[in-house]
Structure 1
């Protein structure tokens, strides 16, 4: 059956525009209208609450939780636990009431809906007119951004404009750790501390299994004087207030949010709170306009250096800019510990895991646009080399067996045929090292970190492969190729070819190091206990 895409978004060279809300496509829109800044990401969900179908998702790069994997039968190499990018805090939490009616676009009557993702400013803008049961018309505009300059900073602006009345509207803005992680239908958080400190409202959450901690705080800037009341719950803290509105006059409510994720389970809670509060105190004096200006300036530089123009094809022009926008949102070198999950920071699919697609498909973009980010991606593989070595031992191999899916270096895929039979990840890492050093001329990385990975990957392939009893040639038996449709395949063409190229590149690098940097070669030989007999084996 032919698959035909349904167009419901406007074609525009610099924006994605949704001019009418279609609930049946709500989740698709939430993914498309996601924002991120590498450090954190948030889906394009309605922050004012929505009782219809949605995925309220807020994620942090490399911030994960752990669950047990129940296998129908236990065999060597099957994983017993898996780690995944966990759903975190709804820091955009908003509720609005007018004449006793709570705003909910699944139930409320509204017109003039429009939602815009702007590539040039890196912002999500949404507006509509709420028509209450009492006959009042209130225009509401939501803006949000995740600063590309200050990774811990997120901003929200809500503008309310009464069109046919003057009166009171009740609002509540807060921080909520209660959203479920949809894939498991569980909430993984307990709240260690919550308090209001002068103009800052703050909350500290801790994951139940691994004990990772997330600090979140906000301060409000209101366009009118109000008396705000503190509201607290088990996993919530916020401020409730009443605005006095005058017809045809707009009021801005700005929420300046600081999020600080601590991934070291041994850090004391008080230390996490202290670090997060220090950042929140620094950010509280910022205005929405100042943050937006800095943020827009960042994106202007991105487009100055990385834009691709396509003449005469408006759909692909929009498409290529959307791709560039998403790549920069997901990774731009701000954190050396970050990597690229299969769905970025837009949702729970693939558990936030990194696959071999990163080195094969994503790395080339960064090599030509952001060499620092490209190196960070390969540094992730070097930093997780010990886990790859442990995985090799679990599978009775030598060297390093890189996982098919991971968020922390450990194998995260519970399907044994993928986790144990797909061997191409190591060759993808080797290819990434080759491609990066060839384009970026980074011999420092190649001779210090890259060569160590190449040796361990080559070792793994040499121990996993076999010599054919009929042909006498070396190859791989009982594998799953990268097409992922056939298992227990012998001599998969792609794998055999890429393993061969890995051996050759490793040997060439060692040969170059013998003449250009013997001391570094001696160091890596000692560290890896490399034997001359291994090199002879890899040459055949």
Structure 2
């Protein structure tokens, strides 16, 4: 039976739009309405919080933690799991009116709409909140990640009382206390806090992440601090029919160096906060983003006539690819869910070389080369993994963030070799498209030779004199301990031929 999409978003050539809140799809929508700029990714969760089904998630590319399973007595089985860790919720917002808190799981509201614009990267959400006393407040929430200055992020809130005047209490902050949902545990210690700034250190790897904010509002601001929180409370005077705007400029900075001195991490973050928060407005960065995306779409757009659903779909996919990765962070890769959530632990799989790389090859060859450079940087880990399997050469991991094997299931990590042949395929594809023979003769040749050494040592000769692979799992992942899997054999053969 053919699968039919259960469509709940409006069709638009350049946006995804939700009219009316679909609470039964809240977490799906949070993924769809996510923002990213390669440095960080922010799920489309509600700024003000939501007691219904939600995953509050802000993830930084390359910022990860680790957990160890019980060590196995059998050689070659990995017990170390690396995962992209939830970081700081810089969108923390709490709205209170007459002692009542806005929570769309409990509050009465109407005219809900949110939309994500592929031509600017701006996420907009609006609604009318009606309190138990009948007061109606029109709210517009905007958020934006700068594509030019990757550490820079913005939040804006517009508030218009429709039938009253009065005081609203608004709390804005930087919250490191969010648990990592996969393990229901928080992985951060906050070692320094000041008004509007906080420095977190991850508990095991000890990554440093600085978050700082500047709030612009015509209201009294009272600093608030907790163990893992830095923020301000605003007493906002609302006048019926008049719009009030509150803007928050945020810097989320990390050098991705667990050895960095804490003072240096703080000083670098504070420098960026003062350099950008006072000099660039939301409107200015929005215009910069529009120019960035206009240039990008002029080079990379795919137009489809007569099929508006597919047109929207292909642009959404291209937009998410470009948000997730564009080659600006050295050593970055593409996790299975990008920067939108915790499934697959943020690990990169062979999908990078087989499915993602072709997009960049034809739209951004430098970014494509950076993806292959990740495999070159992590060649030492691949060499070590081959030794774990009693083989020679280099065996690339099934799942990884830092180049080590992060898949703790032996039937995948020890039997699947399509990640290794995928690296050879990526080199072949890159060289054939770009003609970069200098890369092929240097880094490319090193990887290919070590890959071939692994493939030669892992394969066996049959009694009839034919070479192949025994006790493997092919890319369909449905059958284990397979002899002469067609894909594995074919890709190994092509890798040998290309290298020779």
TM-score class, shorter: over 0.9
- TM (norm. structure 2) is 0.98
Structure 1 runs (4+) deviating above 6 angstroms are none
Match in the other structure for 1:498:
491
- Picking from 334, 347, 357, the partner of 1:353 is 347
Match in the other structure for 2:462:
468
Consecutive unaligned residues of structure 1, counting only runs of 5 or more, are: 508-540
User: Take 2:445 and 2:274, find their aligned partners in 1: how far apart are those partners?
Assistant: 45
Q: Give the alignment of 1:81-230 within 5 angstroms.
A: 81-196=80-195, 201-222=196-217, 224=218, 226-230=219-223
User: Take 2:447 and 2:151, find their aligned partners in 1: how far apart are those partners?
Assistant: 32
Deviation string for 1:228-267 (max 9, x for gaps)? 1010111001000111111111111111100112322111
Q: Give the alignment of 1:29-48 within 5 angstroms.
A: 29-48=29-48
Q: Give the alignment of 1:405-424 within 5 angstroms.
A: 405-424=399-418
Instruction: Report deviation, 1:95.
Output: 0.6
Residue 434 and residue 217 in structure 1: after superposition, are their counterparts in 2 closer, same or farther (change >3 A)?
same
Worse-superposed segment, 416-425 or 253-262: 253-262
User: Take 1:277 and 1:440, find their aligned partners in 2: how far apart are those partners?
Assistant: 41
User: Take 1:69 and 1:16, find their aligned partners in 2: how far apart are those partners?
Assistant: 41
Which SS does the other structure have where 1:319 is aligned? helix
Match in the other structure for 1:537:
none
Deviation string for 1:165-219 (max 9, x for gaps)? 11111101000001110111110011010002xxxx1100011111111100010
Match in the other structure for 1:67:
67
Higher alpha-carbon Rg: 1
Instruction: Report deviation, 1:426.
Output: 1.1
Instruction: Report deviation, 1:368.
Output: 0.4
Match in the other structure for 1:260:
253
1:455 equivalent in alignment to 2:454: no
User: Take 2:395 and 2:406, find their aligned partners in 1: how far apart are those partners?
Assistant: 13
Instruction: Report deviation, 1:2.
Output: 5.8
Match in the other structure for 2:228:
235
User: Take 2:19 and 2:348, find their aligned partners in 1: how far apart are those partners?
Assistant: 34
Instruction: Report deviation, 1:354.
Output: 0.4
Instruction: Report deviation, 1:336.
Output: 2.1
User: Take 1:51 and 1:478, find their aligned partners in 2: how far apart are those partners?
Assistant: 48
Which SS does the other structure have where 1:309 is aligned? coil
Deviation string for 1:241-296 (max 9, x for gaps)? 11111111111111110011232211111111111111111111121111111111
How many residues are paired up?
Answer: 499
Match in the other structure for 1:520:
none
User: Take 1:21 and 1:429, find their aligned partners in 2: how far apart are those partners?
Assistant: 43
User: Take 2:308 and 2:232, find their aligned partners in 1: how far apart are those partners?
Assistant: 45
Match in the other structure for 1:513:
none
Give the conservation status (yes or no) of the 8 Å contact 2:220–2:236. no
Match in the other structure for 2:419:
425
Q: Give the alignment of 1:270-281 within 5 angstroms.
A: 270-281=263-274
Cα RMSD of the aligned pairs, angstroms, is: 1.0
Which SS does the other structure have where 2:103 is aligned? coil
Instruction: Report deviation, 1:3.
Output: 4.3
Deviation string for 1:53-80 (max 9, x for gaps)? 1100110111100101236x53111112
Which SS does the other structure have where 1:185 is aligned? coil
- TM (norm. structure 1) is 0.91
